[in-house]
Amino acid sequence: MDKTSSGWMNGFIGVLIFSGSLPATHLAVADFDPTFLTAARAAIAGLLGIAMLLVFRQKRPERGDLVSLVVVALGVVVGFPLLTALALKHVTTAHSIIFVGLLPLATAIFGVLRGGDRPRPAFWLFSCIGSALVAGFALSQGVTASPLGDGLMLGAIIVCGLGYAEGAALSRRLGGWQVICWALALSLPVMLALTFATLPQSFAGIGSGAWIGLGYVSLFSMLIGFIFWYRGLAQGGIAAVGQLQLLQPFFGLALAATLLHEKVSPLMVVVTLGVVACVFGAKKFAR
């Protein structure tokens, strides 16, 4: 398998893992405070990340890499998890997942600004059409709007796109799993302190669903998913592989329907086919 194909395969696995993030977060915030959830998932993943760095004896990043690692930490370790957890207090999982359709555009834009990608004009056409399909699907479902929830989700998409692009560019030098592990390690002191500061007074009322949600976002969303995702972006191109995120809302909606029993329209299948076509079109014109 060549480098580009490997990049798309790794990216696809990462998207599948991330698709469970919002449903799992929805389960977790039912009983956990959003701030505690954000801190705890980062602290758990940070401890695992440091263990991986020590076991595999990774050398420390160069001083010039620290700013990029801070951007990654603020974007994907703190910003996206916290903003989405807060948003899910105001909107449904299905509604929030729709915003993920804007993430490929955000990632591609930051990929140009921070990663040196230079897609052809046709790439942007397919990317915009794919995002429009996702947005149109959302409107067809008659979703109710929450200005606060929508604003939080929009902010989450912006900081996440920046964190993705910055981390992918850094992965070309440090390696994919090393980037997320170092970013987690960098944020661990603050996240660990915040975890204890926001610790629930009692765990007696915490349901099993909330514990499962916390476990998923800590292990898969915060660590394992990024191992595949950053490697995929670095291998296949930030803007190109980033378009796989157009599929994430539909994977997420399917999970929301299955696990949370939220209503999903049959139109999802038709729109998904259109989105898949846009992903392949964007791939063709990404370089």
Q: What is the full per-residue pLDDT of the chain (287 aa) written as tens digits?
A: 788 889 999 999 999 999 888 889 989 999 999 999 999 999 999 999 999 999 999 989 999 999 999 999 999 999 999 998 899 888 877 677 678 778 899 999 999 998 888 899 999 999 999 888 877 776 676 656 688 888 899 999 999 999 999 999 999 999 889 999 999 999 999 999 999 999 999 999 899 999 999 999 999 999 999 999 999 999 999 999 999 998 887 787 777 677 767 666 677 767 877 888 898 888 888 86
pLDDT in tens, 110-127: 999 988 888 999 999 999
**Cα separation of 167 and 80, whole Å?**
14
- Domain ranges for the chain, please list them: 3-284
pLDDT in tens, 162-171: 999 999 999 9
Q: How far is CA 245 from CA 1, 14, 70, 125, 197, in A?
A: 22, 9, 23, 16, 34
Cβ-Cβ contacts under 8 Å for 112 (sequence gap 6 or more):
118, 119, 239
C-alpha count within 13 angstroms, C-beta hemisphere, residue 131: 18
CB-count burial class (<10 Å; 0-12, 13-18, 19+) for 82: buried
- Residues in the chain, how many? 287
